[in-house]
Amino acid sequence: MARYFDVHPKDPQPRSIAQAVQILRDGGLIAYPTDSCFALGCTLGNRDGRDRIVRIRQLNDKHNFTLMCRDFAQLGQLVHIDNRVFRAIKAATPGPYTFILPATSDVPHRLQQPKTKTVGVRISDHPVARALVAELGEPIMTSTLLLPGEDDPLTDGWQVKEALDHQVDAVIDSGECGVVPTTVVDFSDGFAEVTRAGAGDPAPFEA
């Protein structure tokens, strides 16, 4: 049965955040709010957590996993990024965007897209997501909580707990956080390609 944490949406309680992060460190899988919608998350080294996300979402090998980062210093360790792309991404973050870029050797191979060797990265503007990444001290491997056969992600913490009570180890609820996933911008070929228009304004990345 999943632990349930009811936290403040703008000033999450440090004790609850610390307890949730300990679950991550112990190999757990959590559901948590972001500035677009709920997401599933585990540590980068958690092979079982990654496999659990694949099973819950029924993902195929074309899926790009996303690494939730604290800041640009952390993001820069995970992806290859030139100055032009850096400026474009920095102007749009933190915010509801996911950027697809070539992964560095710091990213485990199982988290890279098998054919392109890319990975998604993002910096959330949600206080809970930011607090989790800061407390953990490393990125969170994450994926939108969109269940198979559903058009919209789950938005309510209790709804998430009811649906995934025996498939995740913790649910962090800070109130409704929206139903629109991030806007995805693929920079893997050196130029911006909007592959999903979502919560973030795609206009700055469209030719």
Cis-peptide, bond into residue 94, ω within 30° of zero:
yes
Tokens 């909007």, residue located: 194
Please say if the pLDDT value at position 37 is more than 80: yes
CB under 8 Å to 23, separation ≥6 — which residues? 3, 30, 169, 170
Residue type for position 145: L
Span 40-68, average pLDDT: 94
Number of domains the chain is built from: 1
In this structure, how many other beta carbons lie within 10 angstroms of the beta carbon of residue 28? 22
Q: Report d(CA 129, CA 125) in Å as an integer.
A: 8
Tell how strand 97-102 and strand 3-6 pair up.
Answer: unpaired
Q: Give the C-alpha separation, 165 to 127, whole Å.
A: 24
Mean pLDDT of 121-128: 97
pLDDT digits (tens, 9 = 90+) for 68-86: 999 999 999 999 999 999 9
- Averaged confidence pLDDT in the chain: 94
CATH number for position 68 = 3.90.870.10
Q: pLDDT tens across 170-199, in order?
A: 999 998 887 899 999 999 998 999 999 999
Confidence category of residue 207, pLDDT binned at 50, 70, 90: low
Q: Domain limits at 112?
A: 3-205
